[in-house]
Structure 1
Amino acid sequence: MAIKVLVVDDSGFFRRRVSEIVNQDSELEVVGMATNGLEAVRMAAELKPNVITMDIEMPVMDGITAVRKIMESTPTPILMFSSLTHEGAKATLDALDAGALDFLPKRFEDIATNKEAAIELLQQRVKALGRRRVFRPVSRPLTTRPSVDSHVSRPLREEEPVKPLERSVGRSAAPARASGKQYKLLVIGTSTGGPVALQRILTRFPADYPHPIVLIQHMPAAFTPAFAARLNSLCQIEVKEASNGDAMRPGCAYLAPGGMQMMVERAGTSGRIKIVSGTPEMNYKPSVDITFASAAKAYGGDVLAVVLTGMGADGREGARLLKSAGSIIWAQDEASCVVYGMPQAVTVAGLSSQSISLDNMADAILRESGRG
């Protein structure tokens, strides 16, 4: 049975273009088109689509408001289309906060290096979201710092298939107690669904978290400054977009800049960030594999690495190097992932020692780091 798609955009040309691309795939079917957010809310309730593609700026009702209302009344996986600007980034992050699961650039030339690749990636994203169940989100706007108690370069390999699990691997509960291992660095890699996952984890960390934190999120260059600023405004720890030469400090999270590669190096008793452009054949900018590999070289077995929700297998080979050096790798469990690709890759490869739900991940990390 085909995945049913509702296309929402005030541009007739864009509605037709997206619909043509979606309908080219035999596994997908456009069941309706809406010209504004108000129509989208009504059609979502009437048509019960499996996926909605949503513009942000529309008359009558904007896309962010529409996402919020749809998630309240008819929870549905939503893929946002966004401009690659600072304002577009902020609006897209607002849409993700409202309940959207993923986003793509609105200009197809920004999605991939050629037309065919862009078309295939759009189809793959829609299919991936269409296979997920979505539940009504808990209403808790994050506008202040909470209490501690309370991509786009040659992206097609992001969708490379991972062999399905044939049996349950790993444990989904949070570890009962800390292992007692000593760490010097926490590294977290993620892609689709990552912005919300990172926000949920990092807002639980206290200001005196004992290690530097390195974050690799597949995200365009225009988005990472806005995303780092948003996390910094919500978290008790400091969060910044990483710059070349940054000295790594405990209680500070360094977000890899979009369109670049981030590595970590040892500098005396501490560490520092190295930012490079990478080579054209690199499939992700930033790449989890590259950052994980540099952490293995610089810190050996003193790393706790976490792989969160995302398509494909980026992070698997870097995790292999980390594990060989004696570091610990954890994966997000399938049930709490938007897309169970990257965590599945490290789990099936036997690299992850724990599969942990997103709800339990922050507590597990804090406990393992001596702060639980």
Structure 2
Amino acid sequence: MAGDGKKLQPIIVKRIKKSGHAAHGGAWKIAYADFVTAMMAFFLLMWLLGSTAKGELQGIASYFQSPVKVSLMGGPGTGNSSSILPGGGRDLSKSFGQMDSGDSERAAKLIGAQMARADQARKDAMRMEALERKISAVIARNPKLSEYGSQIQLEKTPDGLHIQIVDDQQRPMFDTGSALVKPYMRDILREIGAAMGDVENRIALAGHTDATPYGNGDRGYSNWELSADRANASRRELVAGGLPDDKLRRVEGLASSRLLRADAPTDPINRRISIVVMTQEAEERMLPQAAPPPVAAQAHPAAKAVPAVVAPTEAARPMPVGAKPGGAIALPALQISGEVTKFPTQSGG
């Protein structure tokens, strides 16, 4: 066959290699979900804009233009809407939430006063916390005071830091029926006075007795005078320790009107000296309200002259220790709650 002279053509075999298809990703699903969510939000926004009254739209626009001004003065909100709610509802044709310029000024002043009070309360809380730590440290490092630490109570109250020095059956602060300060009580008061020397807040001081009546207290020297004398004696020791006298806002005697243990009126713990380092708010509550001006009245020709009653001053002069019973003591007006319980004993608290 080779001799026929015919040239043989080569046979070409084309083989195609087949490879596996690339894996399909899910990124398009995330993009599609974002698109659907955006479209849903868009159509929801369009529906809300279409169903919202014109007055409400103006109020929303005003809020985003100047939100602080709208919050203080009000604006064209729902009060300007003329739409009627089907099925009843608030009458949107009436003014609601809008303020004139005078009201806005008062509101701004009120907000400013509230912010100032909040800032003052924060400062008072920090001072009370620091003073409590300071007094606790003084008691801890002084061997004399630490021995009587169980009779010194510190407590933070809404009115301020409340310091109470309570009596003990074995270690009384005063002699029975006397305002003479015991030596250890003098040390305690002077150390506390030194610790409170630089405090900015004002201080209220009160003396308390138990419910044991003082002799013929109904007609003469009673627990009221005794508690006032003890409060004044404590005040003198605090001032001697370093407390400025002008820091004292009030010194009073409360007798047994505010028992620490009402279930045991004669318990020695009821005989105590209370010192309150007041917050600014508590001091403002203590300030007397402005009294109305007196009304001038024509005196009757036959009427007798009545001497005027002079109100006691803020710092009433204390009765000296050992004064005779029945002496008058000027004290500020007190609001006393509860009843005074008396027991048939001979000696006072």
Task: Report the TM-score range of the alignment, normalised by the length of the smaller protein.
Answer: under 0.3
Higher strand share: 1
Highest CA radius of gyration, 1 or 2? 2
Higher helix share: 2
Per the normalisation by structure 2, the TM-score is 0.25
Per the normalisation by structure 1, the TM-score is 0.24
